[in-house]
Structure 1
Amino acid sequence: MSSVKVWDPFVRLFHWGLAASFAIAWITADDWETLHHWAGYAAAALIGMRLVWGLIGSRYARFTQFIKSPATTIGYLSDIIRGRERRYIGHNPA
């Protein structure tokens, strides 16, 4: 099986940056208030940039790519139960 890189560099950096900012905020919650605040600002900035990228970004980064109808989602979940779900590049309907 060959690998396909679906997520662009911005999305990858966003996810790791958000995880790092949450970890830093959690670790510094009691002792380093200034660093804790900056980690929160970083998380807010990352989320703001991701919202913009969800509107103008690459194909699989756009919000229109992973918002599916309820019928599609229910059908996909039903197919999972039957063991015949489709494979998707990017987000699946569930």
Structure 2
Amino acid sequence: MSDAARIRIWDRWVRFTHWTVAGIVIWDLFGPTDPLHRKLGYAAAALVGLRIVWGLVGTRYARFSAWWPTRSHLHAYWRSLAAGRPLHHLSHNPLGGVMALVLWALVLALAFTGWLMRLDAFWGEDWPQVIHTSLAIALEACVCIHIAAAVVMSVWTRENLIAAMVTGYKRRHARHTGNTAERER
């Protein structure tokens, strides 16, 4: 694909936080529950916190203003999916935006409940562990949905979303109009 046919969407910080948090999540979901698990969980929460700050002050497509999933954007996107012609979004599509927010909330909630389990005030209490485990299961389910959706949408729209999160580039469409959605041709 020529440079004229592609556009830089995801900056290095977005890609670094995405893949680093993804790696930490995979390790913490399937690795041992040891001191490293706890440290990595806190690191993931810190990275999510920094990514949220970057959503306020970062580059154009990293900012929430580029992809915040409003009700009207969600309805328009659902309609385009139902019609078999998904709207093209340079940044996250509205459902991807919802998933990003859910994943971030789960990572932050897991770090918080993990911290709660270490407090003397809750020594011997089961409920922090029960909540932590439930959140981990929810995160695992959301990660599976996120990966499946990225693969399905990459095939459906013929735009490799996973490669875009690696390289930072997405395909520029002929009807590109900035941050707004556009119909696939």
> TM bucket by the smaller chain?
0.7 to 0.9
Aligned counterpart, 2:70: 69
Alignment equivalent of 2:25, drawn from 11, 22, 41: 22
Give, in angstroms, the shift of residue 81 of structure 1. 1.4
The equivalent of 2:14 in structure 1 is 11
Relative to the length of structure 1, the TM-score reads 0.81
| Partner Cα distance (2:32, 2:35) in 1 | 9
Distance in 1 (CA, whole Å) between partners of 2:27 and 2:50 is 19
1:36 is aligned to 37
Q: How does 1:47-62 map to 2 (within 5 A)?
A: 47-62=48-63
Q: Which runs of 4+ in 1 moved over 2 A?
A: 1-5, 83-86
Normalising by structure 2, we get a TM-score of: 0.45
Deviates more, 1:76-85 or 1:46-55: 76-85
RCO higher in structure (CA 8 A, sep ≥6): 2
More moved, 43-52 vs 78-87: 78-87
Q: Which residue of the partner structure matches residue 83 of structure 1?
A: 84
1:34-79, Cα deviation, whole Å (9 max, x unpaired) = 1111111111110111111011000111112111431232122112
**Alpha-carbon distance in structure 2 between the residues aligned to 1:40 and 1:83:** 39
Distance across 2 between alignment mates of 1:34 and 1:68: 36
| Larger relative strand fraction | 2
CA distance in 1, matches of 2:94, 2:26: 29
User: What's the secondary structure of 1:61's corresponding residue?
Assistant: coil
Where 1:91 maps in the other structure, the secondary structure is coil
Q: Which runs of 5+ in 1 are unaligned?
A: none
- Paired with 1:39 and 1:47, the residues of 2 have a C-alpha distance of 12
- The range that moved more, 35-44 or 78-87, is 78-87
Unaligned 5+ segments in structure 2 are 96-185
User: Structure 1's 93 and 20: CA in aligned 2 closer, same or farther, altered over 3 A?
Assistant: closer
